[in-house]
Structure 1
Amino acid sequence: MSCPPLLRRRPQDTDALGDLAHGRLHPVGEVAHEVAERIRRDDTFAQFVRFVLVGGSSTAVYALLFLSLQWLGYLPAHVVATVASTVLANEMHRRLTFRAEDRVGWLTAQIEAGGVSLFGLVATSVALRWLDATVGSAHPLLQITLVAAVTGFIGLIRFIALRWIFRPTGTPAAQ
């Protein structure tokens, strides 16, 4: 059963909702609004923040796929999870991080970013093979942690490549 006083409460009875009704934001909402406005810009810092957010979300997709495909063995699970999460990340970077969907086609983005990702796939596969050779059957969370660490480093290289090397000619990079 619902609490009767809550059913009778009007939005203006609460500070946060009442402020919203009058066009004012709660202090936490003001900070969130400022942060959102800051990362919507197209300067290097904002693009890097968006790059990290996309990278984090695609790493979460990788982890879910890797864990669900463990029955294939660590290497096949790693390859499938990497390819799927990379294609997703490339598209999100094209649309969200660099806002290049009108300048760069899907296939071009996959080829350009995929080349750097291929290097990452080789590096993470070598790291996983090293872990397997030294530790034996490592816990999947240790494997994911290793892949995330190597991927973080490769991600920095990827950001530099996508931001300054693979931008269309005639399009200056935002400072």
Structure 2
Amino acid sequence: MPCTAWAGRVMRSLRGDHLLAQLARFALVGGCSNVGYVVSFMAVSGIGPLAGNIAGSIVSTAIANELHRRLTFRAAGRVRWFTAQWGGGGLALAGLLISTGTLAGLAFWAPGLGEAAQAGAVIAIMATVGGMRFLALRGFVF
């Protein structure tokens, strides 16, 4: 199959409303919102890294919620902006609390874990929280 035909099939698939298309768009939106986080962090980090982190988290969450409303779940016609921000923001906060608590528990129960194992645990935790957020956004917010 020529590359252009394959790319066309992928693009048509991404435009669909099925679960895998939404999940792919969810991941793409996550990447875009991370760019917003970095820009916001850098703009505010002169005050301090905590201020940069807070600003980056707020901006990236707002960007992600709006892009999920418009692109990932195509819910702009049925879910208002404030509802998306409130629901998505609440889920982002819950995810932050879950991931922070899990990482704190990991440090407590496995203090001698090597760096590679810690990195693997972080990836697994964030993937799990991201998957739960996707399902909650899909099922309850949008």
1:57 aligned onto 2:32? yes
TM-fit CA distance, 1:56:
1.1
Report the TM-score when normalising by structure 1: 0.62
1:82 aligned onto 2:57? yes
Task: Please point out which of 38, 43, 58 is paired with 2:13.
Answer: 38
Task: Please point out which of 116, 135, 140 is paired with 2:91.
Answer: 116
The answer as to whether partners of 2:95 and 2:133 remain within 8 angstroms in 1 is no
Work out the CA distance in 1 between the residues paired with 2:95 and 2:56: 13
Work out the CA distance in 2 between the residues paired with 1:27 and 1:45: 23
The Cα offsets for residues 19-75 of structure 1, whole Å up to 9 and x where unpaired, read as: xxxxxxx92221111100011110111100000010111112212322343222221
More helix by share: 2
The answer as to whether partners of 1:79 and 1:121 remain within 8 angstroms in 2 is no
Report the TM-score when normalising by structure 2: 0.75
Q: Percent identity?
A: 39
* Corresponding residue of 2:72: 97
User: Is the alpha carbon distance of 1:93 and 1:125 closer, same or farther for their aligned partners in structure 2, counting shifts above 3 Å?
Assistant: same
1:155 aligned onto 2:130? yes
Work out the CA distance in 1 between the residues paired with 2:45 and 2:61: 19
TM-fit CA distance, 1:152:
4.3
CA RMSD of superposed structures (Å)? 3.0
* Corresponding residue of 1:73: 48
The answer as to whether partners of 2:99 and 2:129 remain within 8 angstroms in 1 is no
TM-fit CA distance, 1:121:
4.1
Aligned amino acid, residue 160 of structure 1: L
Number of residue pairs aligned between Structure 1 and Structure 2: 128
